[in-house]
Chain A
Amino acid sequence: MMITLQIILFIVTAPLLSGLIAKIKNNLRMRKGQSIYQPYYNLAKLFSKDEVISQTSSWIFRITPFVVLSSALAAAILIPVFIFTSPAHQMGDFLALVFILALGRFFLALSALDTGSSFGGMGASREMFISSLVEPVFCMVIFAVSLQFGSTDISAFSGMHVIPVSSLIAALALFLVAITETSRIPVDNQETHLELTMVHEAMVLEYSGRSLALIELASYVKQMIFFFLIAQIIFPISLPFGNLMQMLLWVLWYIARIVIIAIAVALVEVTVAKMRLFRVADFLGFAFVLGVIATVCAILGV
């Protein structure tokens, strides 16, 4: 019951987050910008369109949209949303979440190779390069946070009344991971289709219609997961959840946390230029060092 509710919540609200970030970015650039509901319009359009499947591709290409969506949603049910307990915490922990997301990525990269286009190969190669460098950063962040809380269970990251320094630094490292994983500037750019720079867009280039819609939806859900994780680490303060007034306050608090992170992402995207691909290694190296510093802080107990 709780799980179904959470899955529906993620599917319904995840596109809004992308719309919100795009709106903030446009407003920061002094533009009016698209409506924040634009991602929903896009999805609706894609669902009603014809679909083209490459004749060189195999069943891998056809099942990938479902695998990608199911891995994103399976990861989503590990996230504690309602009263800070994840509905499926018996299924796995923070570490399992990393591996579950890797499942979707693995198939997406395979399907990109499946079409036989050079764009697909380029995207797959770059995506696997970047994601393999992300893994140690992710692991270091989990390590620092779980040292602080004594467990790798995401539900256990709560009940703090102060924000420890190590959590702050770990959240910053996770923020860099999130930027990388959601293919945003400075690592990737969701807005262009330029062969010199695109990573994620190159992988999904051959997808169209409903399949593309499912993959886009999975990306939105994945983005939401990262934002929730950052929020969970950086604001581990749980509010009481009793009467109607408290519930309302709780919902507002939740939305506020996510909006703050969305604003931060938009600010980074409009102020920083896209990096060269091989600079990403330095970028993630920096994130790894942040993870190590967070661990040292956690060991020192601050």
Chain B
Amino acid sequence: MISLLAKQHFLFDPLSLFFLAVIVLISLPSLIYSFSYLRGDYPAAKIILAQVLLLAFVVSMVLVVSVSNCLLFLVFWESMSLVSYFLVVFDTKHEKSIQAGMIYIIMTHFGTAFIIAAFMILRNYAHSFDFFAIKNACQIIPQPTKDIVFLLFLIGFGTKAGIVPLHIWLPYAHPQAPSHISSIMSGVMIKTAIYGIIRFVMFILGVDSFWWGILVLILAVISCLVGVIYALMEHDIKRLLAYHSVENIGIILLGVGLAMFFASVNLPYLSVFSLIAGLYHLINHAIFKGLLFLCSGSVYKATGTRDIEKLGGLIKKMPQTAAYFLIGAMAISALPPLNGFVSEWLILQAFFLGAFNVIGGAKLFLGICAAMLALTSGLAAACFVKAFGITFLAQPRSHYAQNVKEVALSMRAGMFFLALLTIIFGLAAVLVIKLLAKVSGGVLGIDISNMNFSLNNFTIIPQSAKNVYLSTPVLALWLIILGIAGFAIYRIFARGKTVIYKTWDCGYYKLDSRNEYTATAFSKPLRIAFSFFLLPYRKTQKIRESFYHVKSFTYEIHTTKVFKKYIYDPVLVLLFKVAKSMRRIQPGSIHLYLGYIFITLLLLIIFMGQF
């Protein structure tokens, strides 16, 4: 075992270093945040346990992205899953935690099984578990086997990443963990699955069938749309964010899938460019989703509820948390000049540049994928108007939001750090892209020194027939200048006075928070527009005092989770049926069991004789 930990089993190429950087950048503020977050809610011994688990979690993630041996990879992958399981069930007082943990651990092992199968097939050819030995052996692996290995990896890592329809565990597990852990799970842990796809599929297997990229693109588009549509229907703030992780994994995979597609049709420049875009969105998502989870944790800590229907008006009581959440919400909605905007622009550019270079129907396919990405970002903006508007603006909707104070310093420090990174990664896009070019070139085995991404001082220029520019610093500068100009006009024409008065209430004498729009009402147009997929249904109940007078009326609206209802539930039913029929061979007779052992032994001896 000790010899396995020797130096040759580790590698620190640009890809690994990039993921190490992502892990450290998100874990550090989460750790700082956790000091005040855990205090007060848990006994001291449990806090120490939480910190130890957090450390083990981070260390296992670090090891996952830096080993160069499949066996060690599996060991650390598994320890990462197990430690995160304990963190998911950390709040043992909630019954939901246990249920969430169960779903999580089953799904993650389902995925790991596929990864193990893929490693076994590769081992058969390479006779070694070393990454580079396998990489060399991949040249002799026949194409059909490669296709199978690719599919195994896609299912295995896709389960961890939360690709639709394997996303089922994400909205259960992420909200249930303590918020700083959710931030690491959503920001970093699911990214290790992207690392797996890039490392094993792109780096080791090498992409040479063009349908791999197409398949990944299609799955990515579905993940984007399903993730964001479900997020729109949520009003548990952490679950809403978990669904957005499904969406953003989809966006990252759009970049990765494009890179695979371009690599297979021999467009190395575009392949590098697309991978840059995908990795850029990866680190951006880690930053702003980490930030948003920390903010939602602050809201939960301060108010004691995660249901945004019960909140409102927090911007006046928690001004700093509100500002950080707003920055995160703007970034995830791809608004300029923040980081989410840059990476989504790059991915759209990758689609457009690709369409200029491929022929025929592929152009239309890329165009429609790009349009779906645009739809996703539009829906994400709608979702975050809802999330921010209902949680932080207007008046408190219940007693939960009445007596609320701003959270402690260490929590604010963690959020501040990530909010700062959100802005920096938006403005310093040029530098980030330069670094990412090295990572992408290394993965794809393409020499990038003669590839010119035309990075001026502050401008990104993707090369095409006619150059296209994007400069976030200039854009930010103009937005500020024009905003100030608007303010100047506002001041110069200040002839009338400004009165602070009640919101117009149509002459109704007392407007209170019950008149405000709710999250459910806000998303109603979209619920109707996507009713073919969401299958909404309502439950109403009237309590009557007499025939004429209805005393109270309850109204609930639910959406059908189609993947759970039509895929997972039937499978579970089948599984229980099989288990029930299997029980017949366990009648309780010790003699029969001894017979089973004997038959098993015989079969094993015969089986070993084959080798």
Contacts and interface: CB of A to CB of B under 8 A. Distances in A.
Contact of A58 (B316, B330, B521): B316
Interface string A116-150: 11101110111011011111111110011011011
Contacts of B345: 95-96, 99
A73 B360 CA distance: 38
A164 interface: no
A210 B494 contact: yes
A91 B499 CA distance: 39
Contacts of B479: 70-71, 74, 100, 103
A35 to B, nearest CB: 22
B488 to A, nearest CB: 10
A139 B523 CA distance: 23
Nearest to B385: A109
B375 A135 contact: yes
A115 B503 contact: yes
Contact of B529 (A54, A56, A129, A291): A129
Contacts of B480: 70
Interface residues of B, number: 91
B489 interface: yes
A84 interface: no
A113 B355 contact: no
A250 interface: no
- State the main secondary structure of chain B at its contact with A: helix
Contacts of A73: 482, 485-486
Given A117-B511, A143-B352, A292-B368, A92 B471 contact: yes
Nearest to B459: A90
A74 B502 CA distance: 33
A88 B481 CA distance: 14
A208 B68 CA distance: 64
B539 interface: no
B483 to A, nearest CB: 4
B315 interface: yes
A156 interface: yes
Given A96-B475, A143-B367, A152-B352, A116 B482 contact: no
B502 A118 contact: no
A125 B529 CA distance: 13
Contacts of A151: 464-468
B372 interface: yes
Interface stretch (A42-50, A238-246, A260-268): A42-50
B472 to A, nearest CB: 9
Interface string B347-359: 0110010011000
Interface in A2-40: 7
A105 B489 CA distance: 21
Contacts of B373: 139
Interface string B389-404: 1100111000000000
Contact of B367 (A90, A96, A295): A295
Contacts of A129: 382, 525-526, 529
B371 A139 contact: yes
Interface string A226-247: 0000000000000000000000
B525 A150 contact: no
Interface string B514-530: 01110001111110110
A277 B525 contact: yes
Contacts, number: 282
B360 A54 contact: no
B364 A67 contact: no
B334 interface: yes
Interface string A59-84: 11000011101110110010000000
Contacts of A139: 348, 370-371, 373-375
A205 interface: yes
Contacts of B352: 95, 143, 146, 152
Contact of A53 (B335, B464, B501): B501
B475 A74 contact: yes
Contact of B364 (A69, A103, A292): A292
Contacts of B333: 102, 106
B513 A90 contact: no
Contacts of B371: 136-137, 139-140, 143, 288, 291
A121 B482 contact: no
Nearest to B466: A151
B523 A92 contact: no
Contacts of A149: 466
B433 interface: no
B22 to A, nearest CB: 24
Contacts of A49: 496
B468 A153 contact: yes
A113 B523 CA distance: 13
Given A125-B517, A138-B374, A214-B486, A150 B466 contact: yes
A114 B394 contact: yes
Contacts of B489: 214
A210 B385 contact: no
A116 B503 CA distance: 7
Contacts of B466: 149-151, 153, 156
B378 interface: yes
Nearest to A156: B466
Given A53-B499, A69-B483, A125-B517, A93 B470 contact: yes
B381 A102 contact: yes
B56 to A, nearest CB: 40
A237 to B, nearest CB: 18
A135 B482 contact: no
A116 B525 contact: no
Contact of A114 (B335, B393, B495, B496): B393
Nearest to A121: B517
A128 B384 CA distance: 10
Contact of A117 (B330, B484, B504): B504
B222 interface: no
A113 B390 contact: yes
B553 interface: no
Contacts of A140: 367-368, 371
Contact of A91 (B313, B478, B513, B516): B478
A129 B390 CA distance: 16
Given A54-B503, A71-B479, A139-B375, 8 more contacts: A53-B499, A70-B480, A96-B475, A102-B378, A121-B517, A128-B382, A143-B355, A278-B525
Kindly list the 4 A-B residue pairs having the minimum CB-CB distance in the complex, ordered from nearest: A121-B517, A132-B378, A113-B389, A135-B378
23 contacts: A47-B495, A54-B502, A91-B470, A96-B475, A99-B345, A100-B479, A110-B393, A113-B393, A113-B517, A114-B393, A116-B395, A124-B385, A128-B385, A128-B386, A131-B378, A131-B382, A132-B381, A135-B378, A136-B374, A140-B368, A150-B464, A206-B504, A214-B490
Interface of B: 313, 315-316, 326, 330, 333-336, 341, 344-345, 348-349, 352, 355-356, 360, 363-364, 367-368, 370-375, 377-379, 381-382, 384-386, 388-390, 393-395, 459, 464-471, 474-475, 478-487, 489-490, 493-505, 511, 513, 515-517, 521-526, 528-529
Interface of A: 7, 47-60, 65-67, 69-71, 73-74, 77, 88-93, 95-96, 98-100, 102-103, 105-106, 109-110, 113-118, 120-122, 124-126, 128-129, 131-140, 143-144, 146-147, 149-153, 156, 205-206, 209-211, 213-214, 277-278, 281, 288, 291-292, 295-296, 299
